[in-house]
Amino acid sequence: MARYELVKRSVALITLTNPPVNALSSAVRHAIAKSMDHALNDPKVTAVVICGENGRFCGGADIREFAGPLRGPPLVPLLDAIEAGEKPVVAAIEGVALGGGFELALVCHYRIAHFKARLGLPEVTLGILPAAGGTQRLPRLIGIPAALELITTGRHISAQEALKLGIVDQVTEQNACEVAVEFALRAVAKPLSSRRVSMLTTPCPPDLDGLLEAVTMQVKKKARGVMAPLACIQAVRAAATMPYSKGIKRESELMATLFNSGQARALQYCFFAQRTAGKWTLPSGAQWNNSKPREIRSAAIIGLGTMGRGIVVSLARVGISVIAVESEKKLLETGKQMVIGMLERDAKRRGVSASLNLLKFTLSLQDLKDVDLVIEAVFEDMALKKRVFQELSKVCRPATLLCTNTSGLDVDALAGVTDRPHLVVGMHFFSPAHVMKLLEVVCGPRSSSETIATAMILGKRMGKVSVAVGNCPGFVGNRMLKPYLDQATFLLEEGATPEQIDKALEDFGFAMGVFRMSDLAGLDVGWRVRKESGLTGPDVDPKNPPRRRQGRRYCPIPDMVCEQGRFGQKTGRGWYMYDKPGGTNAKPDPLIQNLLEMYRSRYGIQPRNISDQEIIERCLFALANEGFRILEDGIAARPEDIDVIYLFGYGFPRHGGGPMFYASMVGLERVLERLEHYHQAHPDVPHLEPSPLLKKLVACGSPPVQKWREHIKTMHSHL
């Protein structure tokens, strides 16, 4: 767990050996304690260097150990002892120094960083705080404002920034370990007292309270209801107002309040769920680690609408050459100008040059004959998509992968019109595609494992979180959205307002409430889909009761809003009003209020006061209930995948863990009881009827999310 060597006759080199990130597990802490003891007591040793194996210094505490009781030496006294030692200790930072790894570096008397290294205190993103002295030492080293920013955001910084801030003493392009050994030899004769960071006085800004107040406001605005950043601020205050010996106790007390909180559990679950999601597996046995992806050097995008443009940018900025196709000259020219603008702005922000030379724009599908992969992003119309896929089959070489960016249509039906159904897969991006991190990779029954592997890895290369899902209407994300949106509109009928529902969801932590989100996405899209599926418009039988369709409750209010030309932000009116078309400042609209009142009186609905609790329960439990059905149907392989989709594609708050984890945190028994209650009150809403899997899990004693898979016996997995 740590290797001990004597180098240059007098330097003890301690190498952490706990792959893949050299996390500070109990065994590693034990090995460091033993090695330090040895080094400090061996008269031959005049200095110590600490580094990590495989070019990675240390990824911090072992998060997997958080669930169990503390074993092995605790970190704080171990680190205090390193700092207090009488021989100089130098940290050789390669790769990463994060969390406890950064705190380990902070107790070393000197820090040498490789120029590619990244440093940071990301604990806040796990719902906790740096609890091995980080909140006390960093402010002493770099001052309160800079330390607050790093600790409350968890941002990683480059070695260069660390040098500027005064965190590291030297940045090198050579082997950091070798440089550190030489540095250590030179440090032997120098006094250590000024190098012990815990002994420094924290440089204090003149108006400490004002600064802390301002940061508190910022944090509350950015992360509503999230506890950890606020605790971080309190811990940093202690660094400014107390000696280290007291401050470290305060840090530990604050950590204790966070450590067992639901938010910390949820955020740590998200960390692992995100990493599990890439590990897809098919019933055939093919999976992420035994299927070879194809290398993709060139791609084509069909359609330069909002989605197509975002996808072109996502591909070009990772070095893939892209041919973009449109059907008309004017659309092609507009799309081209927009893509170039987006790429230039993106490159400027990242301080690189825009890869415009990778782009080609054309009106002819014939130009696609040699590309490795095509992503179709035309209008959401099955007949049109089928025509495109037939054409692609004829034009592209037989090995070209054909992908569709449909947000819910049948991927297998598209595969069926091609000459290569095994090379067809869905790549469902989220708008705007160059910003949103989620990619649903939709596996049709005939998609080959090589095709799936290629789409998954391509997503990762574009910086996306790729999740493999099965093929059904709406796949995972949009299928679950339906019952969620339905509940929101039913609540409008019953007496709520869009702003009340949005506020409840935003207070819960959603980036945007459901109505603001719909205004942003555009209301006409759903209206068109409802018209096409006969739920509204001229095809509806006039004898059909107005608030029922296809045997279940139906809310026509969204159709009425669209009939008034209110399509959301882009028209300046939707569920809210905006200053102008394209405006983003949503204000409640009295016209919507009138519409709701008239609607209720027309149908004799007595509006009632609806509590925020009912809003959250009905929207979120209906959402999770559909998630259980998706698991039963084999459309998602595990609850973590569903949660990752909602975290990265739909703005579900990370500190809630995602809809499935949230249900488990509330307690499955309670979710079942509330769904039964609401279903009884609304028997014409099938989405509120508890799913068989939820009932089964409750009957089995509500196992933790990670164990649900053992209880899911899918007859036909779609994955």
Ligand X SMILES: C[C@H](O)[C@H](C)C(=O)SCCNC(=O)CCNC(=O)[C@H](O)C(C)(C)COP(=O)([O-])OP(=O)([O-])OC[C@H]1O[C@@H](n2cnc3c(N)ncnc32)[C@H](O)[C@@H]1OP(=O)([O-])[O-]
Residue ranges in contact with ligand X by CB under 6 A? 20-21, 23, 59-64, 75, 96, 98-100, 103, 122-123, 126, 128, 130-132, 134, 272, 275
**Which is nearer to ligand X, 99 or 657 (by Cβ)?**
99
d(CA 299, CA 373): 5
Q: How far is the CB of 254 from ligand X (least distance, A)?
A: 12
Backbone angles phi, psi at 663, to 5 degrees: -60, -40
**Which is nearer to ligand X, 75 or 514 (by Cβ)?**
75
Please classify residue 704 by burial: count the beta carbons closer than 10 Å to its beta carbon, then call 0-12 exposed, 13-18 middle and 19+ buried: exposed
Please give the DSSP secondary-structure letter assigned to residue 281. B
**Which is nearer to ligand X, 106 or 485 (by Cβ)?**
106
d(CA 265, CA 520): 32
| Beta carbons of 172 and 108 less than 8 angstroms apart | no
Q: How far is the CB of 356 from ligand X (least distance, A)?
A: 29
Query: Which residues make beta-bridge pairs with 51?
Result: 15
Residues 6+ apart with CB under 8 A from 298: 320, 321, 322, 323, 370, 371, 372, 373
Q: How far is the CB of 79 from ligand X (least distance, A)?
A: 9
**Which is nearer to ligand X, 278 or 588 (by Cβ)?**
278
**Which is nearer to ligand X, 390 or 706 (by Cβ)?**
706
Give the active site residue among 123, 326, 494, 499. 123
d(CA 88, CA 637): 52
Can 493 be counted among the known catalytic residues?
no
Can 182 be counted among the known catalytic residues?
no
Nearest C-alpha neighbor of 363 from the set 336, 396, 342, 339: 336
Q: How far is the CB of 69 from ligand X (least distance, A)?
A: 15
Closest residue to bound ligand X by CB: 99
| Beta carbons of 596 and 492 less than 8 angstroms apart | yes
Residues 6+ apart with CB under 8 A from 641: 273, 276, 277, 467, 468, 469, 476
One-letter amino acid of 514: V
d(CA 649, CA 477): 8
Give the active site residue among 94, 103, 251, 493. 103
Q: How far is the CB of 121 from ligand X (least distance, A)?
A: 7
| Beta carbons of 202 and 208 less than 8 angstroms apart | no
Q: How far is the CB of 278 from ligand X (least distance, A)?
A: 8
**Which is nearer to ligand X, 36 or 61 (by Cβ)?**
61
Q: At what angle do helices 134-142 and 144-153 cross, to 10 degrees?
A: 140
Q: How far is the CB of 134 from ligand X (least distance, A)?
A: 6
Residues marked as catalytic: 103, 123
